[in-house]
Amino acid sequence: MRPRHPGRGRGHQPEHRSRKVGGPFHERNPSESRRQGPAVLDLQPGTYFWCTCGLSAKQPFCDGAHKVCDLRPLKVEVKEAGKLALCQCKHTKTAPFCDGSHCDL
């Protein structure tokens, strides 16, 4: 069974979500992911899609839940294997990487 996502269904208006150019990702209602620090992951070289909307059940990566809003995932190319700290609060100014913004929320 697929997880249900807010905003799906007839007559329901999705939450307004938009990205301020050159700044953090914003959403009207804070998601649970904002209360967390970064996801520190050992990533292999390849292409990843970082969630910008905060709705993904596979944080910090996209699972397609953004289809109910106007945000799209950020394509990330990892060139070398290693640990990366990926933002989960969506307020970073260095997306997709954590810049400590979660400490100010």
Dmax over CA atoms of the chain, in Å, equals 45
Average pLDDT, the chain: 77
The CA distance from 104 to 92, in Å, is 11
pLDDT digits (tens, 9 = 90+) for 22-57: 445 544 344 554 557 999 999 999 999 999 988 999
Give the tokens for residue 47: 């292409």
Provide the pLDDT confidence category of residue 5 given band limits of 50, 70 and 90: very low
Evaluate if residue 85 carries a pLDDT over 80: yes
Evaluate if residue 14 carries a pLDDT over 60: no
Are the C-beta atoms of residues 8 and 68 closer than 8 Å to each other?
A: yes
Provide the pLDDT confidence category of residue 69 given band limits of 50, 70 and 90: confident
In the chain, the percentage of residues whose pLDDT exceeds 70 is 67
- Indicate whether this model's pTM tops 0.75: no
Give the pLDDT confidence score for residue 65 in this predicted structure: 92
